[in-house]
């Protein structure tokens, strides 16, 4: 049976399996960039933040080793566009960061939340897909194109250029941040979720960049794990099946949903009904947050995973700018929401050496 499959079909199957693994790991420990910001503001917890930094470190090391061994040129990917617009990336990052805090979760977090039973997260995903598609090909494309493709902004950006950062400098910075967040070397070894998700980033590059390069039936460009535009592609496939095709990215999305759903049946600790008693219009927040993430994710060329892990694993300077902008946008928005008592917290994510108390 499998001998008759084309290379692109193998890539889709492997993408589906990779998505399942991502969904299982992310659901088990509630891996989340936006959640790590919220954790620190509300409880001063650095557990999930440390996992994100660990994922970045492992993704960079594993991807570098993989690309060097198999001679995959990651500077040919979308993260190294020749006509890069850093102003658009910064504004897009700020929009995405604000959106993920308003919606109480970024794109991958909303996917995991929906997979484990939060029906309102589906609203976020739908709005991410609609506005990402609208920004790329639809009703917002014409309005935003003069800004994204502005010759003056592109010329200014060209003075910086789209370059690859020094791996040792980047790792030194990230390791320093990790040690500050953990406050103990012993705690570093407990960040299994971050370690595994970092490895999955490199595996995604291998599937598309090495296995996919052998495809003769379809052109498969090297790609990692990202969720904003693939969410739009998934909606497009669902609505226009005859003119769309299953891809690695869509297979990844489907797998992540199934992985999160399956793991939630074993790991039943987490539930999201706790926000119903709070003074928060969750549906409105999910719609607004999803729209901001859909537009912002396209402008910044990725989300917290697409830029913060996948893009950063290529050492693209643009990815560092994007994820920093997302962080700033998320931090400012979270502080504003917290002052209005509209920053929901249902669970405490503490270190293993602290007394467990998961429900507020």
DSSP code, position 316: B
| pLDDT beyond 80 at 346 | no
Residue 316 has pLDDT above 50, yes or no: yes
Residue 350 falls within a domain, yes or no? no
The pLDDT of residue 106 is above 80 = yes
The pLDDT of residue 356 is above 70: no
Q: Name residues whose C-beta falls within 8 Å of residue 336's C-beta, 6 or more positions apart in sequence.
A: none
What pTM, to 2 d.p., does this model score?
0.92
Q: Is the pLDDT of residue 244 over 70?
A: no
Residue 350: what pLDDT?
81
Domain count, the chain: 1
Residues 6+ apart with CB under 8 A from 241: none
The reply to whether 63 falls in a domain is: yes
pLDDT tens per residue, range 160-183: 988 999 999 999 999 999 999 998
Mean pLDDT (whole number) for 320-348: 91
Asked if the structure places residue 331 within a domain, the reply is: yes
Over 60: is that where the pLDDT of 274 sits? Answer: no
Classify residue 356: in a domain, yes or no.
no
What is the predicted pLDDT for the residue at 304?
Answer: 92
Domain membership flag for residue 66: yes
Query: Residue 33 belongs to what domain range?
Result: 2-269+281-339
pLDDT score at 103: 93
User: pLDDT band at 126, cuts 50/70/90?
Assistant: very high
- Give the residue-averaged pLDDT of 61-70: 97
In a domain, 242, yes or no: yes
Q: Is residue 233 part of a domain?
A: yes
């Amino acid at each position: 049976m499998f001998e008759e499959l084309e290379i692109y079909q193998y890539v889709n199957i492997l993408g589906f399996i990779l998505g399942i693994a991502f969904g299982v790991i992310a659901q088990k420990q509630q891996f989340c960039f936006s959640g790590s910001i919220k954790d620190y503001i509300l409880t001063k917890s650095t557990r999930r933040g440390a996992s994100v930094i660990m994922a970045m470190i492992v993704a960079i090391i594993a991807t570098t080793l993989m690309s060097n061994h198999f001679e995959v040129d990651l500077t040919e990917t979308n993260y190294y566009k020749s006509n890069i617009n850093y102003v658009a990336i910064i504004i897009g990052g700020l929009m995405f960061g604000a959106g993920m805090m308003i919606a109480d979760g970024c794109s991958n977090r909303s996917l995991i939340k929906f997979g484990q039973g939060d029906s309102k997260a589906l609203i976020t995903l739908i709005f991410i897909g609609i506005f990402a598609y609208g920004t790329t090909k639809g009703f917002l494309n014409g309005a935003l194109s003069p800004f994204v493709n502005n010759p003056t902004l592109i010329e200014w950006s060209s003075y910086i250029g789209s370059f690859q950062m020094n791996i040792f400098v980047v790792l030194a910075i990230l390791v320093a941040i990790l040690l500050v967040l953990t406050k103990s070397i012993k705690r570093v070894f407990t960040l299994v979720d971050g370690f595994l998700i970092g490895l999955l980033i490199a595996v995604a590059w291998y599937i598309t960049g090495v296995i996919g390069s052998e495809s003769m039936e379809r052109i498969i460009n090297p790609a990692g794990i990202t969720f904003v535009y693939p969410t739009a592609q998934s909606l497009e496939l669902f609505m226009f099946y005859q003119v769309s095709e299953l891809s690695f990215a869509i297979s990844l999305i489907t797998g992540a949903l199934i992985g999160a759903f399956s793991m939630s049946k074993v790991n039943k600790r987490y539930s999201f009904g706790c926000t119903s008693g709070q003074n928060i219009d969750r549906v409105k927040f999910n719609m607004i947050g999803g729209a901001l993430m859909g537009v912002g994710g396209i402008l910044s060329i990725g989300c917290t995973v697409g830029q913060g892990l996948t893009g950063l694993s290529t050492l693209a300077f643009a990815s560092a700018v994007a994820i920093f902008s997302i962080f700033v946008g998320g931090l400012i928005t979270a502080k504003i929401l917290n002052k209005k008592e509209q920053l929901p917290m249902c669970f405490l994510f503490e270190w293993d050496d602290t007394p467990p108390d998961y429900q507020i």
